Structure 1
Amino acid sequence: MNELFKTTRIKTVGIIIGVLLVLIFMCGSVIYGYTNVTWKMALEAFNHFDGSNEHIIIRESRLPRALIGAAVGASLAVAGALMQGITRNPLASPSIFGINAGAGFFIVVAVSFFSVSSIQQFAWISFFGAALTASIVYLLGSVGRDGLSPIKLTLAGAAMAAMFASLTQGMLALNEKALDEVLFWLTGSVQGRDLDILLGVLPYLTIGLIGAHILSKQINILAMGDDVAVSLGQRTILVKIMIGIVVILLAGGAVSIAGPVGFVGIVIPHIARSLVGMDYRWVVPYSAILGAILLLAADIGARYIIMPSEVPVGVMTALIGTPFFVYIARRGLNNL
């Protein structure tokens, strides 16, 4: 019992340190970039706003960008952790399973054919695309005598991601106006988003994160296998449906804000499990914290690669995540 207390205490301290690191990276996101800003300027922008260019950039651009980066990173990481937990597939994530691509495709359809531009409409369209794609992938991954398997889910997700990506590119090639409106968004970016965009989907992300925490104990049971979970009295179908709704809220909401940012949902859950083990009561909060840190760090780095221009944060996360993805794939699709 004493050892358990020590372990729990260490993990709790880790969460506190992680939250402090998130705040530090958010401050760094406000300070660092092409426009020269000092810590003093940042404080004065909120305490003694004078309407200067630097103060406007801090309040209208940098602060919303930091908040959006933290929210999107946390949401994608937790969505990936949940997907890996219920499928027992180490490669599961919103990007690999095509959920991001599906949500992005339906937003492009809405922009191209229905001239949709409202962020609230984007959110609902993104949720619909994410839900439809997740349902198709799960259905395809369950076809056959052996039922649902990690490799079948991965192949089905890759196929759906490729299909939606091709359809998206085809529509954009035929519609230059839509191309101009959504091309930068499709690469995954938190640049140029204002606070209203985040506030529009924040309730969904909040419900998703709270739901993930509530369901974490059920994921621990489900990770032991469906037969064991049923023998312990778990209603596995209901639990999977609820987890699916949470994933859709998190992934769909994140895509509606920042576009299909990839690899966060793959990398972070593995790092979280290496730190705290397989207990999802700890994996979920650690994934949220580490996901926020990763996306904030990637966004800060993206500002300096080709300064004065910026690299979309989705490109940065791909550079970080691709080697990790190859490593996991080479290690093999073993049960978590």
Structure 2
Amino acid sequence: MLVAQETGAPVGGTEPPPPRPPGPRRRILSAAVALTALLATLTVLSLLVGTGSSPVARAWDFLMGDPSARADAQLRLAVLDVRLPRTLAAVLVGVSLGAAGCLLQAVTRNPLAETGLLGVNSGAALGVVIGLTYFGVRSSYALLGWALAGGMAASAVVLLLAASGRGAASPLRLVLAGSALGATFHGMTSYVLLSTQSTFDTFRYWTIGSLAGLKTSDTYPLIPLIVIGLLVAFGSARPLAALALGDDGARALGHRPGLIRVVVAGAVTLLAGSAVAIAGPIAFLGLLAPHAARAVTGPRMAAQLALSALIAADVMIAADIFARVAIRPWETPVSVLLAFVGGPLLIWIARSRRLSTAGGTA
């Protein structure tokens, strides 16, 4: 007995209990720190890498304040006027789509809901086509405004259709109204394009989804809208958690399901509309990021929103970096790269046995 105690061996033949796995809060915090560090690393890498001939080492010297690098006008143009705006845009688009997708999957209790569900994408496309065809819009800033206006108008019409008649806007009504309006707007867009071929080339470049050619002045006006959308999203986290229990459960806890859906739809409109206005329609990102976040957070809604936004921002900026170097000296549209990744992942999600519970746990 004494020998066992002096040598540190277990007394009485008992074994020490196995180490406990980290708690959910610790796991979520670790994931958030890792994703934030990855985002910072990718942001710096995005400023160093481009389609031009500027060496990475010279770009690093420029960021570190080297006088000779700062005096290089071509390097200054590449880093500050080309890479910095699209880096900022990639972060904003990723955060917006990740948070918007998480909100939509929670409010509709549909794990396959994505940011085009409220007709934002089709409305933005119709807005761009109308601006190009009937108002002679050509500048990127003006196209951004028309896209944002079209997306918001489409979302407003979907909300009106879903809330019309008896009862409040239900998940089924939102889905049906969004699908119907999206198909209608798509047909209207096709009609205008076929009748005015001169706008097709400009629209084709916008609708493919890319961050190339953006200016900082194009994204700054949308930052307040994105911030407002994020504030509303995180403010809706507790009501959305109650809504996951069903409408009756939410009412028992003192919440109004119809009002929750309207408020969340407004936040989704601000976030998704701003993202589509900046980069055009980006598929799969708002669908996949919430699934990855939910695998870490479980049913914690606020944590889902935060991790989904971080994951989508990381994926978006990584895809944009790869888009610049995949086929130098040309660029691959970032939406194409995301589609290559998102398509197989969507098939895997659709075949997963947990699909029926993925949306309900939000």
* TM-score after normalising by structure 1: 0.88
Is 1:72 matched with 2:108?
Answer: no
Displacement of 1:102 = 1.6
Counterpart position of 2:46:
29
Counterpart position of 2:4:
none
Counterpart position of 1:15:
32
2:347 and 2:21 map into 1 onto residues whose CA distance is 35
Q: Deviations over 1:269-290 (max 9, x none)?
A: 0111011112111000101100
2:270 to 241, 249, 257: 249
Cα contact 2:127–2:147 (8 A) shared by 1? yes
Alignment RMSD (CA, Å)? 2.9
2:250 and 2:21 map into 1 onto residues whose CA distance is 24
1:128 and 1:333 map into 2 onto residues whose CA distance is 35
* TM-score after normalising by structure 2: 0.82
User: Which is worse superposed, 93-102 or 229-238?
Assistant: 93-102
Counterpart position of 2:317:
296
Show the 5 A alignment for 1:193-232.
193-232=214-253
Cα contact 2:241–2:300 (8 A) shared by 1? yes
Displacement of 1:24 = 1.1
Cα contact 2:222–2:274 (8 A) shared by 1? yes
AA aligned to 2:26 is: R
1:11 and 1:267 map into 2 onto residues whose CA distance is 18
Counterpart position of 1:167:
188
AA aligned to 2:294 is: R
Report the 3-state secondary structure (helix = DSSP H, G, I; strand = E; otherwise coil) of the residue aligned with 1:206: helix
Displacement of 1:159 = 4.4
Change (3 A) 1:143 1:270: farther
1:45 to 38, 45, 62: 62
Report the 3-state secondary structure (helix = DSSP H, G, I; strand = E; otherwise coil) of the residue aligned with 1:181: helix
Displacement of 1:141 = 6.5
1:143 and 1:330 map into 2 onto residues whose CA distance is 35
Displacement of 1:205 = 0.7
Cα contact 1:82–1:212 (8 A) shared by 2? yes
Displacement of 1:54 = 2.7
Cα contact 1:79–1:94 (8 A) shared by 2? yes
Count of residue pairs the alignment pairs up: 334
AA aligned to 2:301 is: Y
Report the 3-state secondary structure (helix = DSSP H, G, I; strand = E; otherwise coil) of the residue aligned with 2:71: coil
Displacement of 1:154 = 4.8
Displacement of 1:330 = 4.0
Counterpart position of 1:184:
205
Residue ranges of structure 2 left out of the alignment (5+ in a row): 1-19
Residue ranges of structure 1 left out of the alignment (5+ in a row): none
Counterpart position of 2:8:
none
Is 1:326 matched with 2:347?
Answer: yes
Is 1:305 matched with 2:326?
Answer: yes
Change (3 A) 1:304 1:13: same
2:284 and 2:251 map into 1 onto residues whose CA distance is 32
Cα contact 2:127–2:146 (8 A) shared by 1? yes
Displacement of 1:113 = 0.8
User: Which is worse superposed, 14-23 or 74-83?
Assistant: 14-23
Is 1:83 matched with 2:100?
Answer: no
Report the 3-state secondary structure (helix = DSSP H, G, I; strand = E; otherwise coil) of the residue aligned with 1:303: helix
Show the 5 A alignment for 1:83-102.
83-102=104-123
Displacement of 1:83 = 0.5
Q: Deviations over 1:126-148 (max 9, x none)?
A: 34433343355456668999997
2:186 and 2:121 map into 1 onto residues whose CA distance is 10
Larger Rg, first or second structure (1 or 2): 2
User: Which is worse superposed, 261-270 or 149-158?
Assistant: 149-158
Is 1:263 matched with 2:290?
Answer: no
1:9 and 1:123 map into 2 onto residues whose CA distance is 41
AA aligned to 1:30 is: L
Cα contact 2:91–2:316 (8 A) shared by 1? yes
Cα contact 1:80–1:265 (8 A) shared by 2? yes
Report the 3-state secondary structure (helix = DSSP H, G, I; strand = E; otherwise coil) of the residue aligned with 2:202: helix
1:230 and 1:246 map into 2 onto residues whose CA distance is 22
Q: Deviations over 1:112-166 (max 9, x none)?
A: 1112356665555434433343355456668999997767755654444344334
Is 1:116 matched with 2:133?
Answer: no
Q: Deviations over 1:223-269 (max 9, x none)?
A: 21111101110122222222111111101111111111111110100
2:154 to 133, 136, 143: 133
Displacement of 1:61 = 0.4
Counterpart position of 1:54:
75
User: Which is worse superposed, 26-35 or 281-290?
Assistant: 26-35
AA aligned to 1:16 is: V
Displacement of 1:190 = 0.7
